Amino acid sequence: MDIPLLDLQAQYVAIREKVRAAVDEVLESQRFILGTHVAALELEVAKFCGVPHAVAVASGTDALLLALKALDVGPGDSVVTVPFTFFATAGAIVNVGARPLFVDIDDNTFNMDPERLAQFLARDCTSNLTTHKLVHSESNTTIKAILPVHLYGQCADMDGILQNAQRYRLPVVEDACQAIGATYGDRCAGTMGAFGCFSFFPSKNLGGAGDGGMIVTSSGELAAHVRLLHTHGAKPKYYHSIVGFNSRLDEIQAAILRVKLGYLAEWNRARRHNAESYEEELRSAGLLNCVRTPATVAGRTHIFHQYVVRCQKRDELQVFLKSKGIGTEIYYPLSLHEQECFRYLGYGPGDMPCSRAAAQEVLALPVYPELTRDRISYVVSAITEFYRQQS
């Protein structure tokens, strides 16, 4: 079989006519910037997430950057995040002029560990009683926010993270770029902090035909600030109270995303069903001593943007699966604290042991909604064949 990691063609075939009709409508209108589809998508995503405000932007990366700018994060400041994530998480911090400070992940969920966060804030930072600011002792930067990531489609331990944030009066920006539709109790990913940031990159569970993103918030004041920032800081047009950015979601992208949003809950359910099928087949094949399946936490709905296992002999397994026509990917092979561009931060390879171990062991298997059970069985049979050859 030829089984890609993601089959967007299969998705498109099922909704082709609706997508084409939506695009044709925009082309006929000849309104491509901040049109009716963008405004409607903002309302629909806000309703989907259960928050009053949503602002469409050019990408998930821009969503993170604009959220930080709206919180007045800049030079001399720092933001606490995790090193095991896509580059944009820390890149956005640096691109507003601030310093990323890393805390290690939970070994089971790949997300920020609230206990390590608490230890870091208490051990490595000092509170200025006069200014009520929290200062990172080593870099002498003011900590302005906490930026947890809901990696692979499962929410981080937000109760623990929010408790730490409230203790030190720090806002939380949720990197929910991989987690639209995931839940934490009765709350949706992206709705528990000051801001939630989503990506509509084509491979996401809700993906467009190019780049796109969305910021959600419960604060009207913060939403208004982001809306000002994403259109050059102009209100009204040509009158600029602040220096902003050009970060608008295209009308054609919004029209496509509105079509796809109607299918998102169904697609997320299919991904969870496929994850359950993998768990059953890997267990039945006796592979759980070689392949560690994703840890799901009670009370949290995992949407499996990626189905990521931890493997013995990961690199060799990936090569073998490729020879069998099975697409895989390593998300992510080198943690951010070890990246060359972040050497100036002063971290060593051993400073984040859980992140480093994850980078050496993780492998994403196909989990897209249209994946059939016989293809899942084929993937598992290939994994079984590989480990039998190793014994």
Spans of all domains in the chain: 8-261, 264-390
**Element holding 150 (H helix, E strand):** none
Helix/strand number for the chain, H first, E second: 12, 15
HSE of 138 in the Cβ direction (CA atoms, 13 Å)? Answer: 13
- What per-residue confidence (pLDDT) applies to 190? 98
Please state the pTM of the whole predicted model: 0.97
Q: What is the pLDDT of residue 298?
A: 95
pLDDT at 391: 79
Cβ atoms 35, 251 nearer than 8 A? yes
Instruction: State CA 203 to chain mean position distance.
Output: 12
Domain 8-261 has CATH 3.40.640.10: yes
Estimate the crossing angle of helix 60-70 against helix 220-229, to 10 degrees: 120
State the 10-residue block means of pLDDT for the chain, 391 residues long: 96 98 98 97 98 98 98 98 98 98 97 98 88 92 98 98 96 98 98 98 98 98 98 96 97 98 98 98 96 96 98 98 98 98 95 98 98 98 97 79
DSSP collapsed to 3 states, 87-124 = CHHHHHHHHCCCEEEECCECCCCCCECHHHHHHHHHHC
**Distance (Å, rounded) from C-alpha 40 to C-alpha 26?**
13
User: What is the spatial distance between Cα 28 and Cα 190, in angstroms, rounded to a whole number?
Assistant: 34
CATH top-level class of 264-390: alpha beta
